[in-house]
A and B are shown apart, each in its own frame.
Chain A
């Protein structure tokens, strides 16, 4: 299944050099889609930043390792693990659960500025942000992030799982992304 998701991403993006992608994910295929996306980006770009608002980085690294994805070159920005204060480590930073949009933006910037290497950014996911924020604020956040990704010369993907709550965000964001891919 992950190869199906990978093929679908790779085919959709074959003409684009540094794509910024909006991935609309079928909730049934969420895990396969995440692995497929990461497989695509890790094959193209040596380093990556994985912004997780859904699962703690410790859980993710295990499941990515199991799926055969090299996590050594990934830096995790974790917005789900409960920590008393922001924690920074070699391979991850923890911003705390329910992090607000401004702190999330700053957390991502810091991760990007850790080194000058070319990198990709995967945000998992806009849907989680919709639990705590209205769709207008989430759309503005996503717009700002895509703009910064272009300035940082980074490719990547903003993920949104189809939950019947994100239609506004998708229609507002689609014009700022190179491609909208349904997985």
Chain B
């Protein structure tokens, strides 16, 4: 197996902020939101294969084992126990890093699954025109999660979560201080940026929803204090994400028309470089998504974002801003249209 054992890592909370945001971002679509989230899985697999983290093999089950091994090696799950009886599959996840998020999301009645390991597997099944239908699930006192599901032909009725298990009594350990291998972080971030490219520029709205969810996660789960003053809030975000290992430092320069950020030893740089090389316009840097949400709440709209990847994993970002509530004078513009 060629699944990369990671040498470099990043705090899990950095990734958690965006995958929590992703689950919240598609909640409005109901269960159909899972189909959108599963698109992230396509990008995860693509990145892993292109970077040689996972080998593509023809046998779907072996491929799925490869995906599991990749996430295990990157510290996302300690072990996955698998058994199959005909079409019924039973999976038990031990020390699964998604457990605290699953519990939190379920307790908010959000049933979408944004675990990167699951999204990658969902995507693999979809590519074989298969989905899954949950039969039941349970969580033990030590947080081991077991799900039993049936593999079914792909349809709108597949990829449906089980009858919601009551998670209010589940004491999932927080991910505070836990780390995840950089390859798994990179693959998930790449998947997120690429997933909605087919929608064109408007996909930024979806990523902005992810950013709002990330800010909600930081405030409610991690108790990061984001003051009303957006300048101070951006500094808080910069401290949080630097401490989490997204970059050694994130230096900001903010005016009313521009936000400039300089990232030193930026762990998102390999993803950014690949996205730019492949011609993708959207990016998924957790700091930037959260910063856009803070700026939007302060009444600014980002009209464009330019990135420069420098050497040695340093990068710069320039975001042009304008006040979002600019007036639109219908009469005046109507007259201009008549004489155009």
Judged by a CB distance under 8 angstroms, whether A113 is at the interface is yes
Judged by a CB distance under 8 angstroms, whether B202 is at the interface is yes
A164-B28 contact, Cβ under 8 Å, with A106-B336, A106-B340: yes
Residues on A with C-beta less than 8 A from B338 are 109
Residues on B with C-beta less than 8 A from A105 are 333, 336-337
Judged by a CB distance under 8 angstroms, whether A1 is at the interface is no
Residues on B with C-beta less than 8 A from A163 are 202, 205-206, 209
Interface size class of B (residues with CB under 8 A): 35 or more
Residues on A with C-beta less than 8 A from B333 are 101-102, 105-106, 144
Roughly how many angstroms separate A136 CA and B328 CA in the complex, as a whole number?
9
Q: Is the CB of B328 within 8 A of A137?
A: yes
**Which residues of A, 66-105, contact B by the 8 Å Cβ criterion?**
80, 97-98, 100-102, 105
A144-B330 contact, Cβ under 8 Å, with A30-B198, A54-B201, A102-B336: yes
Tally inter-chain residue pairs, CB-CB below 8 A.
106
Taking a contact as CB atoms closer than 8 A, the residue among A31, A54, A133, A143 that contacts B324 in the complex is A133
> How many residues of chain A are within 8 Å of chain B by beta carbon?
42
Judged by a CB distance under 8 angstroms, whether A43 is at the interface is no
Q: Which of A7-15, A122-130, A171-179 contacts B (4 or more CB under 8 A)?
A: A122-130
Interface centre among A26, A55, A97, A113 (most CB of B within 10 A): A55
Nearest chain A CB to B299 CB, angstrom units: 9
A128-B304 contact, Cβ under 8 Å, with A101-B333, A102-B333, A144-B333: no
Q: Is the CB of A148 within 8 A of B334?
A: yes
Taking a contact as CB atoms closer than 8 A, the residue among A28, A101, A131, A144 that contacts B36 in the complex is A28
Main secondary structure of the interface of B (DSSP, over half): helix
Judged by a CB distance under 8 angstroms, whether A53 is at the interface is yes
Q: Is the CB of B200 within 8 A of A80?
A: yes
Residues on B with C-beta less than 8 A from A27 are 29, 36, 196, 199, 206
Q: Is the CB of B201 within 8 A of A55?
A: yes
Judged by a CB distance under 8 angstroms, whether A4 is at the interface is no
Judged by a CB distance under 8 angstroms, whether A44 is at the interface is no
Q: Is the CB of B326 within 8 A of A127?
A: no
Residues on B with C-beta less than 8 A from A130 are 205
Nearest chain A CB to B18 CB, angstrom units: 17
Q: Is the CB of B199 within 8 A of A161?
A: yes
Task: Give B contacts to A, CB under 8 Å.
Answer: 25, 28-29, 32, 35-36, 196, 198-202, 204-206, 208-209, 301-304, 320, 322, 324-328, 330, 333-334, 336-338, 340
Instruction: Please provide the 9 A-B residue pairs with the shortest distance between their CB atoms, ordered closest to farther.
Output: A54-B200, A109-B340, A98-B303, A164-B28, A109-B337, A137-B328, A55-B200, A127-B202, A128-B202
Task: Give A contacts to B, CB under 8 Å.
Answer: 26-28, 30-31, 52-55, 80, 97-98, 100-102, 105-106, 108-110, 113, 125, 127-128, 130-134, 136-137, 140-141, 143-144, 147-148, 161-165
Sample of 19 more A-B contacts, CB < 8 Å, known A133-B324, A140-B330 = A27-B36, A28-B32, A28-B36, A55-B200, A55-B201, A101-B328, A102-B333, A109-B337, A110-B340, A127-B205, A128-B201, A131-B301, A132-B324, A136-B325, A137-B328, A144-B330, A162-B28, A163-B209, A164-B25
